[in-house]
Chain A
Amino acid sequence: MDLILKETRCTATMNKKRIIFYNSILLIVLVIAFVTALIVGRYHISLNTFFKILFGGANRFPVESSIIVNLRLPRTLIALFVGSALSLAGLVYQETFQNKLVSPDFLGVSGGASVGAALAIILGFSSMWLSGVAFIFGIGAMFLTITIAKIMRDHSPTILILSGIIVSSFMSATLSLLKYLAETESQLATITYWLMGSFEYSTMTDVYILAPIVVISSTILFSIRWRINIVAQGPNEAQTQGLNYKLYRYIIIILATLITASSVAFAGVIGWIGLIVPHIVRLFVGKNTKHTIPLVLSFGAIFMIVTDIFSRTFTGAEIPLTAITGFLGAPIFVLILLRKRRIIND
């Protein structure tokens, strides 16, 4: 028996090594993607020039350094935070609601934020106000979803998901009405473009607002990452194992909604990422949130930065982010399903 225990321990150590390996690889790739995002684009900057600017030679390359600092750095940082935030929100929602098809906007957050943004555009608000209104409507939609679920007096995940569908549909109807009321030439185009997600107008001010929200919320979720496993067992199991299920569920919902709503407020609606990144990560390390959460944060950031590079590099006008995440996401999701059903192997 000792031998068997020893073997098991060896496997556990191997698992640990494998997880450290994945984390290291993703961090390296993240750094590479980040640097690539700063130098690649319609105006190409060589790696050499980039390093010269980085190490104090900004004065010699005023155009290049201005492009990097004023245009590419803010949008890449926003992409990093939005990618991590949406992927993390997707994962924790999927675990908490024991439903792998849940994405970060299922509580109606994106729907609410879209209505807020459309309203702000019609009323002619500035972009900062637009983000604010979108954020408030996003959070408001989440509260509406929770209130409807509460009225039903049922704490099951299904009721919350159904309430989310109700609120999302309502928001979608409101959005249609707002689009109908919008001026066709300018406002409707702006609304449509915003709804497909973009980092085109990201500024460092956006970063200063978004970063603390995402960093603080993610740090809290990161610190309770092992316990999210227990939440994923459902109320009866969690409570008899000593977890205050309701409290943890609310902490998770509020933090995940906060980072989703703020991401949507600054980048518009970006589909797919919150759904597929957690699935891809689970394929490699399994379901344990102790391991998946760090990987989802870095992989989500990489996925979003790469999407942003695609969106602005190959065409004259920027391709909306959701169009790219959709094109990448749909086939990846099919591959994941095939792999899960063991139709294809590693």
Chain B
Amino acid sequence: MIEYKTDKISYSYTKEDVIKNITLDFKPNTINVLIGLNGSGKTTLIKLLAGIFKPNNGQVQINGKDLCTYSYHERSKFISYVSQELNVGDDYLVEEYLSFGLMNTLKFYQSPTHKSITKVQNAASKFKIYDFLNKRMNELSGGEKQIVSICRAYIQDTEIMILDEPTSALDFKNQNLILNILKEVASVDKIIILSTHNPNHALYLDSNALLIDKGEIIKSGPASVVVKKEILNSVYGNNLKYSKELKYNEITIG
């Protein structure tokens, strides 16, 4: 079973650290939800975890070895990543774009075969986008592109899936679809890490919630413990209003 952790990682763009000394241990079969304000360091942490940024100090480790010492090919077998970017896929057909998720199974001169395209088509039906397969990416809405991006990462079929605000452009129906798929993926000994602006998602996913503020994890643990009015208030401010006291699967209005 995969071991995935961070050991005192820090990162700075200029002088000041935006990620400060973060140590985390992610267990298989868990969904880890990062919540925090804009600019709190969520995306930076996600990029460090995905190996896009290299920590200035400390290490991200997979199976006891520094992530940076693995080749890109090896990393892509462990980690799939969905960026915040909604403007993806340019003029490619959705099917072509999804098939990029198969890259690490192919040799440098190969392209996806008919057999592997079946995997793409099955994933597309799971994400309810099979009708789009022959559409061009730039004909899709932002939300549709977001689902396609997540589906592409799903096709990559990795032990760890890292998603940066995967539901930011989705309607309620599709948020539900994606969160349910993520639950299902995690249930087969995989690790899911995602960031969100909706603390309810942490509750709904029955996740391990990580509350980040000014580059530090100030509270972590089961979502039912972390996503509490008094804890969130310390970050989001006391002027927040809740429709009700937070309970499982509730919608809040801030």
A residues near B (Cβ < 8 Å) are 1, 4-5, 8-9, 11-12, 98, 223-227, 229-230, 232-233, 236-237, 239-245, 282, 286-288, 290
Q: State whether A286 touches B103 (Cβ < 8 A).
A: no
B99-115 vs A, CB cutoff 8 Å, 1 = contact: the mask equals 01101101011111010
B residues near A (Cβ < 8 Å) are 47, 50-52, 71-73, 75-77, 79-81, 83, 88, 90-93, 95-96, 100-101, 103-104, 106, 108-112, 114, 117, 121, 125, 130-131, 133-134, 136, 156
Min C-beta distance of B87 to chain A, whole Å: 11
Q: State whether A8 touches B133 (Cβ < 8 A).
A: yes
Min C-beta distance of A293 to chain B, whole Å: 11
| A288 touching B108 in the complex, CB below 8 Å, given contacts A240-B80, A242-B72, A244-B71 | no
Q: State whether B79 touches A240 (Cβ < 8 A).
A: yes
Q: State whether B52 touches A240 (Cβ < 8 A).
A: yes
In this complex, the member of A5, A8, A224, A241 whose beta carbon has the largest number of chain B beta carbons within 10 angstroms is A241
Partner of A240, one of B81, B106, B133: B81
Q: Which residues of A contact B90 (CB under 8 A)?
A: 98, 232, 287
Q: State whether A241 touches B76 (Cβ < 8 A).
A: yes
Min C-beta distance of B212 to chain A, whole Å: 21
| A286 touching B92 in the complex, CB below 8 Å, given contacts A223-B108, A241-B101, A241-B104 | yes
| A243 touching B72 in the complex, CB below 8 Å, given contacts A8-B95, A232-B90 | yes
Min C-beta distance of B135 to chain A, whole Å: 11
* 5 new A-B contacts at CB < 8 Å, known A1-B130, A240-B79: A226-B112, A240-B76, A241-B101, A241-B103, A242-B73
A227 and B77 CA atoms in complex are apart in Å by: 17
Q: State whether A242 touches B77 (Cβ < 8 A).
A: yes
In this complex, the member of B51, B100, B104 whose beta carbon has the largest number of chain A beta carbons within 10 angstroms is B100
Q: List 22 A-B contacts (CB under 8 A).
A: A1-B130, A4-B131, A5-B130, A8-B121, A9-B121, A12-B117, A224-B108, A224-B109, A226-B111, A232-B90, A236-B52, A236-B83, A237-B88, A240-B76, A240-B80, A241-B156, A242-B75, A243-B72, A286-B91, A286-B96, A286-B136, A288-B96
Q: Which residues of B contact A225 (CB under 8 A)?
A: 111
| A230 touching B103 in the complex, CB below 8 Å, given contacts A4-B131, A286-B136 | yes
A232 and B90 CA atoms in complex are apart in Å by: 9
Question: What 7 pairs between A and B have smallest CB-CB spacing?
Answer: A242-B76, A242-B104, A226-B111, A240-B81, A287-B91, A223-B109, A242-B73
Q: Which residues of A contact B156 (CB under 8 A)?
A: 241
A288 and B93 CA atoms in complex are apart in Å by: 8
A287 and B89 CA atoms in complex are apart in Å by: 10
Partner of B72, one of A226, A232, A244: A244
Q: Is the interface of A mostly helix, strand, loop or mixed?
A: helix
Q: State whether A290 touches B111 (Cβ < 8 A).
A: yes
Q: Which residues of B contact A98 (CB under 8 A)?
A: 90
Q: Which residues of A contact B92 (CB under 8 A)?
A: 229, 286-288
A8 and B124 CA atoms in complex are apart in Å by: 11
A237 and B97 CA atoms in complex are apart in Å by: 11
A4 and B110 CA atoms in complex are apart in Å by: 27
Partner of B52, one of A230, A239, A290: A239
In this complex, the member of A1, A244, A245, A287 whose beta carbon has the largest number of chain B beta carbons within 10 angstroms is A287
Q: State whether B77 touches A229 (Cβ < 8 A).
A: no
In this complex, the member of A98, A227, A282 whose beta carbon has the largest number of chain B beta carbons within 10 angstroms is A227
Q: State whether A282 touches B121 (Cβ < 8 A).
A: no
Q: State whether A241 touches B100 (Cβ < 8 A).
A: yes
Q: State whether A227 touches B76 (Cβ < 8 A).
A: no
Q: Which residues of A contact B50 (CB under 8 A)?
A: 240
A70 and B104 CA atoms in complex are apart in Å by: 50
Partner of A8, one of B83, B96, B111, B134: B134
A9 and B113 CA atoms in complex are apart in Å by: 12
Q: Which residues of A contact B101 (CB under 8 A)?
A: 241
Residue of B nearest to A98 (CB): B90
A1 and B122 CA atoms in complex are apart in Å by: 10
| A227 touching B133 in the complex, CB below 8 Å, given contacts A244-B71, A288-B93 | no
Min C-beta distance of A195 to chain B, whole Å: 34
Q: State whether B75 touches A227 (Cβ < 8 A).
A: no
Q: Which residues of B contact A244 (CB under 8 A)?
A: 71-73
Min C-beta distance of B163 to chain A, whole Å: 12
Residue of A nearest to B92 (CB): A287
Q: State whether A229 touches B96 (Cβ < 8 A).
A: yes
A288 and B95 CA atoms in complex are apart in Å by: 11
A225 and B125 CA atoms in complex are apart in Å by: 28
Q: Which residues of B contact A242 (CB under 8 A)?
A: 72-73, 75-77, 103-104
Q: Which residues of A contact B88 (CB under 8 A)?
A: 233, 237
Q: Which residues of B contact A237 (CB under 8 A)?
A: 83, 88, 100
Q: Which residues of B contact A286 (CB under 8 A)?
A: 91-93, 96, 136
Q: State whether B51 touches A226 (Cβ < 8 A).
A: no
Q: Which residues of B contact A1 (CB under 8 A)?
A: 125, 130
Residue of A nearest to B104 (CB): A242
Q: Which residues of B contact A241 (CB under 8 A)?
A: 76, 100-101, 103-104, 156
Q: State whether A4 touches B108 (Cβ < 8 A).
A: no
Min C-beta distance of A231 to chain B, whole Å: 11
Q: State whether A239 touches B72 (Cβ < 8 A).
A: yes
A229 and B90 CA atoms in complex are apart in Å by: 11
A290 and B91 CA atoms in complex are apart in Å by: 14
Residue of A nearest to B121 (CB): A5
